[in-house]
Amino acid sequence: MKRIASLALLIAFGIAAYAQKEAPKPNVNKALALARQGKYDEAKAIVDAVPTHEKSKIDDKSWFFRGIVYVAMDTSSAYNTNGENYSAVAAEAFAKASELAGPKGKLSIMDTNSGATQTLPDLIKYFNNIFLYKGDKLFGQEKFTEAIVQFRKGLALSPDTAIFRYAGYAAHNANQSDQTIEFLTKYLDNGGTNSQALFLWVGSIYEYKKDFEFALAAARRAMQINPSEQNYRQIELNCLIELKRYQEAADNLQGTIAKNPKDTETLYLLGALNEELGKPDQAKEYMKKALEADPKFMKAAIAIARYGNRGFVDVKSQMDQLDYKKDRVKLEQLDKLYVEKLREAAAGWESCEKLDPKEREVLENLELIYGRLDDKAKLAPLQAKMKSESCSSRYEARWF
């Protein structure tokens, strides 16, 4: 009985070993043919054996075809209805195929439609474009989160500047500031230079994250890429102020003025810095110098007009503290001064209106002042203009 039992075990072991030895290598050619027919489950079952089979797991072609099947499943809206990230598996398969093929190996496949040979880089670019198109279509439908999913699938295959850029836009529209910064940082790291993407990147760091050290570095990097965009200098200054690095800000600006005394933007920023430091008189002088250097410099004109408002606001504050019965004489004197200051302020805003007739802040201040002066002759046409024309504020930090 013992001899029979031992013989039975030996036979069983031999059968198992024979069966293991004879397991066929996954037919990846068949898998690819099935995928082309849309029979993805059957194709997937075949290529899923590639990582474990003794022969296929060291065969670059097997891994290459596994990657193609997986990414094809991901691009098929009819098959991949739940949004699985098959492209991540495809990326791993392509990487393994490249490793096995070595630097001299050429991974390629014949295109059944055109007859042309497509290499691995060709295929990755092709599939990237599919994901870019699918993401862009969802973006157009304002399905921003779903668009990001498609963009990430493309990026799983290969870093692509176009996809990084549009993924950043989608993340911004989805109110995902961290992802916006992530995508656009990688966009820049991969050589992107688009001015809108650059501005959105800096703005997201400064405006939404409020990470002023990061924003300072971002603004300076952006200035190197796009020196003509003056908003970066404003952000740089704002960051230095937030970080209380006032001397560095002043030295930076004064150094520029030393080279070019009529640099209007720098004069304006020096005004802004002095205002922040509680030196309104010096601030106003710098704004005046900026406007003298360029009489059409709207930002400086508005800044000066804002200082004009302080005159009538201060007088009104004094009037509000007086007693109407006890301080009538003083009130009458202040009332005359109040009217005088209102007219001075109106003149400043009217100068701004000549430079930009549709600037919302200008028109709103004129409406306020004309109303307080009870100047119906000027107020009525102004209000009619504000109703009939499209007005907006264009002289403040804005992000796309």
What is d(CA 219, CA 202) in angstroms, rounded to the nearest whole number?
Answer: 6
Is the per-residue pLDDT at 140 higher than 70? yes
For the chain, percent of residues with pLDDT exceeding 90: 72
3-state SS, 59-103, equals: CHHHHHHHHHHHHHHHHCCCCCCCCCCHHHHHHHHHHHHHHHHCC
User: Is the model more confident about 219 or about 110?
Assistant: 219
pLDDT digits (tens, 9 = 90+) for 256-315: 899 889 999 899 989 999 998 899 999 999 999 999 999 999 999 999 999 999 999 999
Residue 4 has pLDDT above 50, yes or no: no
Both tokens of 241, joined, read 């102020």
pTM of the entire structure? 0.71
For the segment 229-244, the average pLDDT, to the nearest whole number, is: 89
At residue 389 the predicted structure's pLDDT band, cuts being 50, 70 and 90, is confident
DSSP conformational letter for 359: B
Q: Residues 360, 393: contact at Cβ < 8 Å?
A: yes
Q: Are 219 and 236 in contact (CB under 8 A)?
A: yes
What separation, in Å, do the N-terminal and C-terminal C-alpha atoms of the chain show?
Answer: 86
Alpha-carbon span 69 to 58, nearest angstrom? 18
Strand locations in the chain, DSSP E? 108-110, 117-119
Q: Give the per-residue pLDDT at 233.
A: 87
pLDDT tens-digit series, residues 88-124: 999 999 999 999 999 888 898 877 767 788 899 999 9
The predicted structure's pLDDT at residue 231: 87
Interatomic CA distance for residues 64 and 292, integer angstroms:
68
Question: Residue 154 corresponds to which tokens in the numbers above?
Answer: 């493309």
Percent of the chain with pLDDT over 70: 92
- Which of 20-29, 93-102, 219-228 has the lowest average pLDDT? 20-29
Gyration radius from the chain CA atoms: 35
Task: Say how far apart CA 346 and CA 378 lie, in whole Å.
Answer: 11
**Interatomic CA distance for residues 241 and 277, integer angstroms:** 9
Per-residue pLDDT at 1 exceeds 70: no
Residue whose tokens read 């005159």 = 311
pLDDT at 345 over 60: yes
**pLDDT number for residue 22:** 52
Q: Is the pLDDT of residue 398 over 50?
A: no
Three-state secondary structure call for residue 297: coil
H/E stretch holding 354 reads helix 328-355
- How far apart CA 180 and CA 176 sit, in angstroms, is 6
- Residue 49 φ/ψ, nearest 5 degrees: -85, -10
Half-sphere exposure of 220 (CA within 13 A, CB side): 10
Check: CB of residue 206 under 8 Å from CB of residue 184.
Answer: no
The pLDDT, as a whole number, for residue 399 is: 29
Rounded distance between C-alpha atoms, residue 236 and residue 218, angstroms: 9
What is residue 55's predicted lDDT score, i.e. its pLDDT?
92
Model pLDDT, residue 45: 94
